[in-house]
Amino acid sequence: MNNWKTRYAWLREFGEPAPAGTDCPFHTAEAEAEIYNRNRKEDAPRLKPVLDETLPEEAYILKSGGSEIQIKGGSKGVLYGTYAAAGSVTEKVPVPEGLNAPYWSLRMLDSWDNMDGSVERGYAGRSIWFEADRYSYDPARIRQLGRMLASVGINVLCINNVNVHVPAQDLLDGMLDETAAFADLLRPFGVRLMVSVDFSLPLQRGLVSADPLDENVCLWWKNFAERAWKAIPDLAGYLIKADSEHRPGPNTYGRTHPEGANMLARSVAPYGGVVVWRAFVYNCTQDWRDASTDRPCAAYDLYHPLDGQFDENVILQVKYGPFDFQVREPASPLFYGMKNTHLGCELQLAQEYTGQQIDLFAMPALWREIFDSVGTERIHAVAAVGNLGRDACWTGHPFAALNLYAYGRFAWNPGVNPAEIVRSWVRQTYDLPSEQEDALTDMLMKSRSAYEKYTATLGLDWMMRPETHYGPSPYGYEFDVWGTYTRADRDAVGTDRTKTGTGLTEQYPEEQKALYSDSSSCPDELLLFFHRLPYTWRMRDGRTLIQRIYDDHFEGFDEVQKMQKTLADLSLPEPDAQEAAERMNLQLLNAREWRDVINTFFYRLSGIPDEHGRKIWP
């Protein structure tokens, strides 16, 4: 536990350690202001937090007056405002005017930490708080974590993997005291805990069933909640992955998901708790021969008939796309179709499919598209799978911190402009000359497009290695059980998901249905997601489909080369400069591998050479 060292990205005005011994966010705000005022540059204004209990709990108003910024805020808002004020000073921009309050009240970070210390899909080192099947942390580090989350307004931390591996069943049971102690550490930062719970827990505790309609089961969960909230009065609730990828759920007992979720919801309602119910349900033992079953259709087919049946304090948490955190997906049709259900939108900061915190992939533009497409009013809460670990910079790649920062900012205000968020992060993280600031901002903004070009052009997801989700394997998933097929053959590629095919387009409202159903209106980025087309098909810009595939792969690699050059010209501090350069070398190798493997794959299938005579290996 000793000798750990961390460094923040965007919080450089606040030295370590984070405040200890404060008992509420307001006192934390006062302590942070004191740290800030001590560290600030001579010409910077002082921060002055003022508790104003007439304001909504999470809201704040900033007032800049000469050498001081006054932060009037509610009991949590006063802390959020303190960080916001500091950020504005660092960025050398005026403090925002008027009342600042979050768009969503639940802004969750879901940690896929296992109690053995591993992190499922973690690319930033081991768990910050678990090791060897128990809690294992330095409180000072947890307070630093709390500060980081609070600084961007994240107010719920789910502490354990949705796949509840032994002994995480004990977190609100045999280890309840330790979980309460952990909650105590984060409470002064306005962060409440959530725990991933195993739906079959009663069965493991001696009951003969976990049937949600069984009275004994209901009583068992009622008692369970009573004990949990007694120990942790501000516990946010439970996160549940049920009837998904071999996890147990209500279907095991012939019950519906609302029956399962509502039973839990009733048990936590007296304490203001919520049940976050993941809608990530599909047939994960599909037969590749079966072209009529289509995984992206599964969640809507299951949940749409259940719309209106979930209790008020159930949040049905839907991944942004109908597949699984791919580089490019349309928004999930559930967002449009579940008008009488509280929906949560699940994002993923962990770069499982998006470069694993080696390759650059700034997410704000992706989220912007999803939120624009869906309309934020259809979304009741947001969650993101975290990208944190014990690495000194917290996020593996120092630039990956951008995604955590941006997530917090989006969760607070989903209307923000992606480029502005990226620029804010750059300014708050590095003190660069303005042309370098522009260059870094621009590079990050373009990073998603580059990664998309070499890994998932035209919506061709799932061509990565099945074991790792990193690096190319164009047929790796093709004959497997996961429902993720490109069905590439010598003539054509892609899946017809219109009404002449699997019918996914029919799950969308008219506007989206019309857009996606017609190959002449379907956005290029989703063309092969919704359509099966021959290699000789003419794109709107006159290129053939196969030529577009080749072009994107050559361009993707070239863009990474340019990024490498841009990076080399930045005067970043160490060790960020070296770490970023090392990972950029790996990204370049990865982009080369993707370019060559995917181009060769389609060349072997199609037999059509590149029009520009570039090297495609035979």
Q: Which of 219, 291, 392, 568: binder of a second copy (CB under 8 A)?
A: 291
Kindly name the residue from 53, 97, 245, 518 that is annotated as catalytic. 245
Among 489, 511, 569, 582, binds a second copy (CB under 8 A): 489
Do residues 79 and 41 lie in contact, with contact meaning Cβ atoms separated by under 8 Å? Answer: no
Residue 442 binds to a second copy (criterion: CB under 8 A):
no
Exposed, middle or buried, 564 (CB in 10 Å: 0-12/13-18/19+)? middle
Question: Residue 315 or residue 464: which is nearer to a second copy going by CB?
Answer: 464
Residue 616 Cβ vs a second copy, minimum distance, rounded to whole Å: 10
Instruction: Determine the interface stretch with a second copy among 41-49, 137-145, 320-328, 604-612 (rule: CB under 8 A).
Output: 604-612
Close Cβ partners of 102 (under 8 Å, ≥ 6 residues apart)? 58, 59, 153, 411, 412, 413
Report in angstroms how near the CB of residue 353 gets to a second copy at its nearest.
18
CB 492 within 8 A of CB 535: yes
Q: Is 324 a catalytic residue?
A: yes
Cα–Cα distance measured from residue 296 to residue 326, given in angstroms and rounded to the nearest whole number: 12
Q: If binding is defined by CB under 8 A, does position 116 make contact with a second copy?
A: no
- Residue carrying structure tokens 């759920």: 249
> Which residue, 474 or 494, is less far from a second copy as judged by CB?
474
> Binding to a second copy (CB under 8 A): which residues in 376-435?
none
Active site residue 133: no
For residues 18 and 147, the answer to whether their CB atoms sit within 8 Å is yes
- Which position among 472, 494, 501, 556 is part of the footprint of a second copy (CB under 8 A)? 472
Nearest to 596 by CA among 385, 454, 494: 454
Residues 490-529 that bind a second copy (CB under 8 A): 490-491
Q: Taking the complex as a whole, how short is the minimal distance between the CB of residue 475 and a second copy, in angstroms?
A: 4
User: DSSP alpha helices (H): ranges in 105-213?
Assistant: 139-151, 176-186, 201-204
Site mask for a second copy (CB under 8 A), range 542-581, x = bound: ----------------------------------------
- Output phi, psi for 108, to 5 deg: -105, 145
245 labelled catalytic: yes
Q: Which residue has the tokens 């489909």?
A: 545
Among the listed residues 131, 352, 359, 391, the single catalytic one is 352
User: Would strands 107-110 and 156-158 be described as parallel, antiparallel, or unpaired?
Assistant: parallel
As a whole number of angstroms, the distance between CA 533 and CA 500 comes to: 13
Q: Which of 21, 65, 66, 618 binds a second copy (CB under 8 A)?
A: 618
Question: Can you tell me which of 177, 289, 292, 520 binds a second copy, judged by CB under 8 A?
Answer: 289
Name the minimum Å distance from CB 38 to a second copy: 50
Q: Which of 76-84, 105-113, 266-274, 602-610 is the region at the interface with a second copy (rule: CB under 8 A)?
A: 602-610
Chain position carrying tokens 């993997």: 161
- Measure the CA–CA gap between 581 and 311, rounded to whole angstroms: 50
Distance CA 402, CA 424 (A): 9
Say if residues 124 and 386 touch (Cβ distance below 8 Å): no
Under the binding rule (CB under 8 A), the answer on residue 593 touching a second copy is yes
- Residue 600 found at the interface with a second copy (CB under 8 A): yes
**What positions carry a catalytic annotation?**
245, 324, 352
Q: Which parts of this chain interact with a second copy (CB under 8 A)?
A: 288-289, 291, 466-467, 472-476, 478-479, 487-491, 593, 596-597, 600-601, 603-607, 617-618
